[in-house]
Amino acid sequence: MLDDDISVYKTGLLKEYEELVEQEFAFEKSKLKREIGEQVSLFGNSENNTLTILQSNLLDIETQEDFKKNNLREKVAVSNYFVERISILHSKYPATWLITCCFMLIFLLPSALKNLIPTNTRFYSFKRNIEVGLVEDEYKKFKSLYSSIMRFKFGENYTFQEIYLDPPFNTKRKKDLRTFKKESDLISELYNA
């Protein structure tokens, strides 16, 4: 039943495409046919260069038109029209809406359940502990790898300098404890030295 609907759709689509291709070449073909008619009425059916060229051009245009039509036929025949199948299913067979809604519900249910669970439950605290543990373990591995690479490359013990109080989460920046002199002190030291 669905295959019959698709074949009807393909036939209509192919007819529409072929009409568009015919419209595309109709002007050029009619112009060449008119010129060929004028050449025949002026010179008769005798062979002349202009008539031969016009007939050759008409044949080329008809060949291009046939090529485009055959190309369209191949593409229409090869395509399975998946989206159109779904559209036909939903328009002609209402039971498919129920199946589609069931599948949507199945895929959306985990997201809905996740949003319905309060964040202060045991699940979220357990999840947070696991995530924090993973991040801290990876950060320790990074620091160890960093110092071993620095020791290998430069032969000295370098440690990774943290500018935050709570590495690796980096939410609280360390305060800058440097003291800076005034601009006037710099100027006096430069000119009085």
Tens-digit pLDDT profile for residues 52-109? 888 899 999 999 999 999 999 998 888 888 888 888 888 888 888 999 999 999 999 9
Give CA–CA dist 193/187, Å, rounded.
Answer: 10
- Which amino acid is it at 165? L
Decide: helix, strand or coil at residue 173: strand
Find the DSSP H helices in the chain.
2-43, 49-78, 82-92, 95-116, 122-154, 183-192
pTM for the structure as a whole: 0.46
